[in-house]
Structure 1
Amino acid sequence: MNPHLDDLVQTPIPTRHGEFILHYYSNTIDDKEHIALVKGDVANQENIPVRIHSECFTGDVLGSRRCDCGEQLAMAMQMISEAKSGVLIYLRQEGRGIGLLKKLQAYNLQDQGLDTVDANIQLGHLADEREYSVAALILESLQVKSIQLITNNPKKIDALEELGIHVVKRIPIEVTAHKDNLDYLKTKAKKMAHILFEPKK
């Protein structure tokens, strides 16, 4: 059976970054509730700014400083709002795909000296178990023709292009490093090939 996605509800959501249309999706791939925040008219448009953001309860909701997720979410919404059009896809794949429980256990391992990658591996997982087929289906559902991907992760671009999404360019989204997230950011750059710590132009 081919993967299937349904856009069940669309509703306006006013935010501090402007108003978006929230799309609620059901799907046959993972039975999770994924959403997209859409700004402006994106159907049949080229070069649409897109952020594919994986759920991070601790960063997105609680404002945890252990990661850069919450700051990236806010920055991406602001970037899309300023561009007057774009899509933020919010995928329910917590903890780079390992779930909230295992992510919190990984935090404790990090406090014992492991980095974010080795902690996941110690728990029997891959460094990154995220998957982007639902995101590709959402972009197809919205009829977006090509995108500018807001990311620091080249592997995310590769994954989307393998799924048939035309990525025209990468838009960096680098948050400020501080004592609580510096080791985390360094590990993402060193072990996960994220493009970080580039000189500001």
Structure 2
Amino acid sequence: MDRRTANSQWPEETADLPSFYSPKSRPHEAPATHLNADTLSLSPLVQPPTTYPESDRGFDATQLPPPSLLSPQFTPPATPSGAATPTTEHVPRGVPVDSSLPTGGCGSKRPRLLETLPEVQCIVRARIPTVTGTEMWLHLYSNNVDTKEHLAIVFGNNIRSRSLDEPREDETEMDRMIRGAYVGRLFPGRATSGMMGTGAEGEAGKDGGNGSSPLVRIHSECYTGETAWSARCDCGEQLDEAARLMSLPSQQESGGIIIYLRQEGRGIGLGEKLKAYNLQDLGSDTVEANLLLRHPADARSYGLATAILRDLGQEEIRLLTNNPEKIRAVEGPNREVKVLERVAMVPLSWKGRGGFKSKEVEGYLKTKIEKMGHMLEMGGMGP
């Protein structure tokens, strides 16, 4: 159904959006008047099983972790796993795209692509339990392009790295477990990785069995927005929201991946980015400031992200982005990865679900829409 037809049933009034946001949109049915911690928190993934499936065990069945001393009855109701968790989800809806077509929803520009994809290797993987109850798997990568430590944050248990799982010369089972090349979960006294002779090395990247593609976010490092609480951009909020969406129960089958690239300040580095901030205080917008410092408006590249996605076994993805130009850039020089859908990343404050507002961030979003072609439509979310 055409989205304009689908939205025609809604009245002409729009949500309380910034003045530069022109498209008519469906009003939020129940605008939040305060920050709802339950709505914004990360939903927990399925609790770890107390036993391992035979196909994943690969070690003595008697070597099971001790039972948990915590009971669900003692879980405080306000935590993500408690009774206060909302029963409805804000599930992301994707807009189909096809970069092979001129009108495929991928922007009009031709992004800068590498002739060949970089070589990447996952050095180590570790389980990260988070303060919200969700678990994720942090993968650290090396590459042959730069010396930076790029990362992949993986949600779900079915997405694996090929380069990490490959056996390495003269390593022991303990070596494999220490670098994260194991199946199931680690626990005190475990002696084997559960991978040798089980064929697990060939299972990298398989989905959870429902055939759906994972939700993927390509996120560039932003120290000021993620660590220094900056209200000049929405990068920190975008990172948090991406994690929340990927940990929804409806996403558990397909999983989710955040590729975290160390390209601060759209690729110009933190020092130059801070200079750009001073130029913004002197009256320039974010694009003009970069140009005045003799940098491109956007100096980022995404070849490393494509290579990491391939290492994680992904050939078709749903991309969480407002930038249609990023679609073709992430797909790689020969469409090594195909983007099937683009899912919008709408600011939480625009949806009436908390978030934050500031003069600086509205100017930042205005410039991204007007000068960089970003699309922040409201129609991409559903109950």
Q: Give the counterpart letter for 2:331 in structure 1.
A: E
1:168 and 2:340 matched: yes
1:13 equivalent among 125, 128, 139: 128
- Equivalent position of 1:87 in the other structure: 257
Identity, % of aligned positions: 48
Distance 1:198 1:79 in 2: 16
> TM-score, with normalisation over the residues of structure 2?
0.50
Distance 2:305 2:287 in 1: 24
- CA-based RMSD: 1.7
- 1:161 is displaced (CA, Å) by 2.3
**Which ranges in structure 2 are unaligned for 5 or more consecutive residues?**
1-115, 160-204, 350-356
- Equivalent position of 1:73 in the other structure: 239
8-17 or 128-137, which deviates more: 8-17
Rg larger for: 2
Distance 1:16 1:194 in 2: 32
Q: Give the counterpart letter for 1:185 in structure 2.
A: L
173-182 or 91-100, which deviates more: 173-182
Superposition misfits of 4+ residues, deviation over 6 angstroms = none
Residue correspondence of structure 1 range 126-165 to structure 2 within 5 A: 126-163=296-333, 164=335, 165=337
Distance 2:294 2:277 in 1: 15
Q: Give the counterpart letter for 1:135 in structure 2.
A: A
Structure with higher strand content: 1
Distance 1:133 1:16 in 2: 32
Q: Is the 8 A contact 2:343 2:380 kept in 1?
A: no
Go from structure 1 to structure 2 and tell me whether the alpha carbon gap of 1:146 and 1:132 turns closer, same or farther (over 3 Å shift). Answer: same
Residue correspondence of structure 1 range 1-201 to structure 2 within 5 A: 3-17=118-132, 18-40=134-156, 41-42=158-159, 43-45=205-207, 46-82=212-248, 83-84=251-252, 85-163=255-333, 164=335, 165-175=337-347, 176=349, 177-196=357-376, 198=378
Distance 1:126 1:99 in 2: 12
Q: Is the 8 A contact 2:303 2:332 kept in 1?
A: no
Go from structure 1 to structure 2 and tell me whether the alpha carbon gap of 1:51 and 1:200 turns closer, same or farther (over 3 Å shift). Answer: closer
Q: Which has the higher relative contact order, 1 or 2, with Cα contacts under 8 A spaced 6 or more apart?
A: 2
Structure with higher helix content: 1
Go from structure 1 to structure 2 and tell me whether the alpha carbon gap of 1:2 and 1:78 turns closer, same or farther (over 3 Å shift). Answer: closer
SS in structure 2 opposite 1:140? helix
SS in structure 1 opposite 2:327? helix
Q: Is the 8 A contact 1:44 1:145 kept in 2?
A: no
Aligned length: 201
- Deviations for 1:126-148, whole angstroms, at most 9, x for unmatched residues? 00011001000100000012110
SS in structure 1 opposite 2:315? coil
Q: Is the 8 A contact 2:213 2:316 kept in 1?
A: yes
